[in-house]
Amino acid sequence: MPSDQEVETFIRSTFRSVWALELLILLRENQARALTHAEMVKRLRGSDLVVQQSVESLAAAGLVIPDSEGSARYNPASEQLERLTEVTEQIYARSPDAVRRMIVAAVTPGLAAFADAFKLRKD
């Protein structure tokens, strides 16, 4: 089982947006076959560009295999990536806001630091 730190590092380094995570979950749920670009756009209710960029980043991370027609299939490059994906999906199901914050903080660290400055803390 991956450690909490490994999962957090995986989330921060793999997903450039929540769309990418949602796409990975969708592909994992349908891993028996490749989904077409049109299916991914329709099921995610996302734009062509968001789906295309998400597929590209997930392929670069070794999580999906795209084809020349724009279809993609979940196929992690290692058992460790499969375990990290599984745990990430479980955490996202239980606490989606925490995962979203990790993704946003990794993409826009300055914005996250600015927002943190306004958190109310008990002294």
The string of pLDDT tens digits covering residues 31-48 is 999 999 999 999 999 999
Pairing type for strands 72-74 and 64-66 reads antiparallel
User: Cα dist. 5→10, 13, 59, 90, 96 in Å?
Assistant: 8, 12, 23, 15, 17
Mean pLDDT (the chain, rounded): 91
Residue 107: pLDDT band with limits 50, 70, 90: confident
Q: Report the run of H or E that residue 55 belongs to, with start and end.
A: helix 48-60
Q: Evaluate whether 47 touches 40 at the Cβ level (below 8 Å).
A: no
Give all domains of the chain, ordered by start, each with its CATH number.
Answer: 4-116 (1.10.10.10)
CA 40, 42, 45, 46 torsion-angle sign: positive
